[in-house]
Amino acid sequence: MNSTNPSNAKQTPVYEVCDVTYRYRQVTALDHLYLTVGAGRRVALLGANGSGKSTLLRILNGLSFPDKGMVNFCGEPLTEEKLQDDGFGLDFHCRVGLVFQNPDVQLFSATVFDEVAFGPLQLRWPHAKIRQSISEILEMMEIAHLKERSPHHLSMGEKKRVALASVLVLDPEILLLDEPTAALDPKSESHIIDFLVQSKGRGKTIVTTTHDLGILEDIADDTFVFQGGRIVAGGPPSEILSNVALLKETSLLHSHLHIHKSGEVHTHPHLHQHKE
């Protein structure tokens, strides 16, 4: 199942995932997976816990590699050997940014400022450019007042915004976001969703894993539904959300009994908010 966009039809896809299988010991996380991500598309990987979507994100970022099959990045094989090549590896890591679901995995510096400065310093940007870029990104993420704070003493929502800022400061073409709104308070969730909404039309390719049906139409142009390491459906968010049978089958929508004041009992479908 492929994401499509007529205006990008002649462009080389950003990612081509071809017959990919990946196992954690005896557990198959991805099972003969095929997926194409077009340039400039906002793609949502939708699925319950353990469906394989986060594993795919790690592979797209070059942190893991398939046991079988191939992943192409902009027409080039994305392999461990290619990433060890200085030219390809540097270009890839400048163009692709990953934000983990758990920001504590990603944050390690003494202050928020140092955290966001780390990437630009590694790329040897001029100091004036680094300071200007950090100032702009902290303002955009509404965390400028936290720049001297330790990221480890922030709230979960603040940590996630710092982690996102540390990636966005490098202005990558491709963003990989693993459950960016999970475990956030309403204000922080709204801020992340606003960023994803505003990214539409800016030319960036964004791949987001989620199980939150409520934000799907805001954050995605294309949706792929995962179950058991396979893609079982794909299409525009509106099409996926209208398929109640599919959502129930993939544990994304559940029905619960409700007793009304009249004493009558009805079954209504509800979004299933997983806790990870």
What is the edge-to-edge ordering of all strands in the sheet holding 96-99?
96-99, 174-178, 205-210, 42-46, 222-227, 230-235
Domain regions of the chain by residue span: 6-271
The reported pTM is 0.85
Q: What is the pLDDT of residues 208-262, one digit of tens each?
A: 999 889 889 999 999 999 999 999 999 999 999 999 999 999 989 865 444 445 5
Tokens representing residue 85 in the block: 């090549």
Q: What is the pLDDT of residues 27-43, one digit of tens each?
A: 999 999 999 999 999 99
> Hey, how many other C-beta atoms are within 10 angstroms of the C-beta on 67?
12
Fold for 6-271, please state it: Rossmann fold (3.40.50)
Looking only at the bridges linking them, the beta strands covering 205-210 and 42-46 are parallel
Tokens representing residue 202 in the block: 């800016």
CA distance 90 to 60: 15
Q: What is the pLDDT of residues 105-138, one digit of tens each?
A: 999 999 999 999 999 999 899 999 999 999 999 9
Tokens representing residue 231 in the block: 């893609």
